[in-house]
């Protein structure tokens, strides 16, 4: 652990020096007492302030209260050195625990050290190095070999290889050319590139990820909430038991000072520091480990949710398949292939759907917008528009059923898009979409981590969905679903089991939000993905779901062990304290030792083999 010279350690050193000096001057009674009191005040005043603040908020009992009661009582019965030493040891233990937590947080944030402090702005063909916060959307910036990409942008000049491992966990460099996107946090490996900023520093991918990581402890798990509630109930019970430990034996003729000392040992032993510190740290380490693997978990509750998963529902397009549609075939016996493609491209021009973009890309010629009128998009079905003064309908079988236009049944693995002109069927286009490599073995690997129920949703025709489902070994699927249908179907599924939905994070945002645990695929830099989901996979790799589940199980096991270990040891020491087999110094050492062991055990999450 890296020691930090801060106000906490300085006050501990000053208090310790005064304490040692007092012991040397024990023969000078007044000086001895004054030095011990000053030593106590130096090390304890912040604890009194913290306890008073919590008292004003209605939180009467916590570990600070226990230490104050114990040490003040020690002063009352004349155990002055022990009172000071207890507070010194307690504060030193707190310092070491905080140090371990801070060092772990720093190491995690270093793993995610994505942000650059500066940007090389290109102004009038000159390069000006400025603070990255000064850059605006639309500014041109240069990234030299070895530098981090400071802002999300689109490459306008140059070709290079970029290291994306900090964001995606992928070790293989990616080639970027003119027109490709680069994200803040990528590292430029080889060439000089110029890019146009598409966001400012605060809204860049790196800033959002770091912010989420640093604030991940705001969304607490049920375990953390239980520990908080447990401490609030446990502490007053401990104080009451300590009071009875003095009262009952004294009333029965026991020595008051002896039983008060045992009660003080009991109070110090009872401090729940190990639980209060190690449990949140364990979940934080789990979130950090996931980040190292290219998985962004939006808080420890998301990590705990992964341990509860029974059912995973996958969207087909862009999740199981690559979502990179290409026109594979055009079939029409009414007009030429070129005319057919032109008509379809004009009709789909205003749509942002991947299928529409694949059609306009295949046409690859200029489109004159004034030839398109009365454009209307029917969600999950297709489009209707007036093109070249003729009514064009382009979409799936469901749209043509609604419009009462007969179309042939096509048996093909691709997506079938039908086209009609002025109410008459014209032909169809086959759009191909490749199944991801990571999807082929996903079902088998998920079963190894305890997930046996997998379902697929799609808006495509049933025969297409069935073929994809069979290919990836998903036995249950639902086809021809509109976005609203997906939400309704998911509600039905999650009534029976804890369910996750995995989607592309943009089109599927409502379903992701509806799930017990939302997971976004391929959502790097997407606001919709980050806002809607609990877990964002930083690279388009379904196997990262398996990795995330493994990390959640490791975290759960270590946190559970820490809770059991701390409680068993605590109750053992309480028994020893009750029967007078433990001194107050032993109690403090035990409390500090258990806390540090629990903290160190939590830190194993960062290194444990998956």
Question: Which amino acids are annotated catalytic?
Answer: 315
Q: What is the DSSP letter of 198?
A: S
State how far the Cα of 135 lies from the Cα of 203, in Å rounded to an integer: 12
Cα-only R_g, the chain: 32
- Output the DSSP codes for 398-423: HHHHHTT--------SSEEEEEEETT
459 near 480, Cβ under 8 Å?
yes
Distances (CA, A) of 47 to 41, 315, 361: 10, 53, 67
At residue 252, the 3 state secondary structure works out as: coil
Of 316, 297, 349, residue with least CA distance to 108 = 297
Of 261, 211, 303, residue with least CA distance to 549 = 303
Sheet with 295-297, side-by-side order of all strands: 295-297, 535-537, 517-520, 499-503, 311-315, 453-457, 476-478
Of 267, 255, 252, residue with least CA distance to 577 = 267
- Report the Cα–Cα distance between both ends of the chain, in Å, rounded: 24
392 near 373, Cβ under 8 Å?
no
170 near 539, Cβ under 8 Å?
yes
Distances (CA, A) of 297 to 310, 445, 503: 19, 21, 15
> Which residues are CB-contacts of 567 (< 8 A; sequence separation ≥ 6)?
275
User: Rounded to the nearest 10 degrees, how much is the dihedral formed by the CA atoms of 586, 590, 593, 595?
Assistant: -140
- Output the DSSP codes for 308-353: H--EEEEEIIIIIB----EEEEEE-SSS-HHHHHHHHHHHHTT--S
State how far the Cα of 157 lies from the Cα of 146, in Å rounded to an integer: 17
At residue 125, the 3 state secondary structure works out as: coil
Task: Check the CA dihedral 14-16-18-21 and report its sign.
Answer: negative
């Amino acid at each position: 652990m890296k020691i930090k010279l801060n106000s906490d350690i300085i006050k501990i050193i000053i208090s310790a020096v005064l304490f040692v000096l007092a012991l040397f001057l024990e023969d000078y009674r007044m000086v001895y007492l004054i030095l011990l009191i000053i030593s106590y005040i130096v090390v304890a005043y912040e604890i009194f302030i913290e306890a008073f603040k919590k008292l004003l908020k209605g939180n009467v009992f916590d570990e600070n209260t226990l230490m104050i009661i114990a040490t003040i009582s020690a002063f009352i019965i004349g155990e002055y050195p022990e009172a000071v030493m207890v507070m010194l040891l307690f504060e030193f233990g707190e310092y070491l625990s905080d140090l371990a937590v801070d060092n772990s947080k720093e190491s995690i944030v270093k793993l995610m050290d994505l942000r650059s402090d500066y940007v090389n702005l290109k102004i009038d063909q000159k390069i000006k190095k400025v603070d990255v916060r000064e850059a605006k959307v639309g500014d041109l910036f240069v990234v030299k070999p070895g530098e981090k990409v400071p802002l999300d942008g689109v490459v306008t000049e140059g070709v290079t290889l970029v290291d994306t491992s900090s964001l995606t966990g992928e070790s293989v460099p990616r080639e970027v050319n003119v027109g490709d996107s680069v994200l803040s946090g990528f590292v430029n490996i080889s060439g000089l590139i110029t890019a146009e900023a598409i966001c400012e520093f605060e809204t860049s991918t790196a800033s959002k990820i770091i912010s989420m990581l640093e604030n991940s402890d705001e969304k607490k798990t049920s375990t953390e909430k239980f520990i908080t509630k447990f401490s609030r109930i446990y502490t007053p019970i401990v104080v009451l038991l300590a009071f009875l430990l003095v009262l009952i034996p004294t009333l029965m003729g026991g020595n008051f000072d002896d039983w008060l000392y045992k009660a003080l040992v009991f109070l110090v032993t009872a401090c729940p520091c190990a639980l209060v510190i190690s449990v949140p740290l364990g979940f934080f380490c789990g979130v950090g480990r996931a980040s190292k693997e290219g998985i962004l978990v939006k808080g420890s509750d998301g990590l705990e949710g992964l341990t509860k998963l029974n059912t995973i529902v996958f969207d087909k397009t862009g999740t199981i398949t690559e979502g990179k549609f290409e026109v594979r075939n055009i079939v029409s016996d009414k007009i030429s292939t070129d005319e057919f493609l032109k008509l379809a491209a004009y009709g789909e021009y205003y749509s942002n759907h991947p299928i529409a973009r694949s059609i306009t890309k295949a046409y690859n010629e200029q489109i004159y917008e004034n030839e398109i009128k009365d454009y209307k998009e029917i969600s999950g079905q297709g489009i209707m528009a007036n093109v070249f003064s003729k009514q064009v309908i382009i979409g799936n079988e469901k749209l043509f059923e609604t419009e009462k236009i007969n179309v042939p049944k096509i048996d093909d693995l691709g997506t079938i898009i039908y086209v009609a002109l002025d109410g008459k069927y014209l032909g169809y286009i086959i759009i191909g979409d490749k199944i991801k490599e990571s999807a082929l073995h996903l079902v088998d690997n998920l079963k190894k981590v305890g997930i046996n129920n997998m379902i697929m949703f799609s808006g495509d025709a049933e025969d297409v969905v069935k073929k994809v489902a069979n290919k990836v070994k998903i036995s249950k699927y639902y086809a021809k679903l509109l976005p609203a249908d997906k939400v309704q179907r998911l509600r039905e599924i999650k009534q029976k089991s804890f369910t996750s939905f995995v989607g592309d994070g943009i089109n599927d945002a409502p379903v992701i939000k509806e799930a017990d645990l939302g997971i976004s695929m391929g959502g790097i830099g997407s606001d919709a993905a980050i806002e809607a989901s609990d877990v964002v996979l930083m690279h388009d790799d379904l196997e990262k779901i398996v990795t995330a589940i493994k990390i959640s199980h490791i975290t759960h096991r270590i946190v559970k062990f820490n809770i059991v270990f701390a409680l068993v040891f605590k109750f053992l020491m309480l028994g020893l304290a009750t029967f007078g087999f433990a001194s107050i110094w032993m109690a403090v050492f035990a409390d500090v030792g258990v806390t540090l062991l629990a903290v160190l055990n939590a830190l194993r999450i960062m290194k444990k083999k998956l």
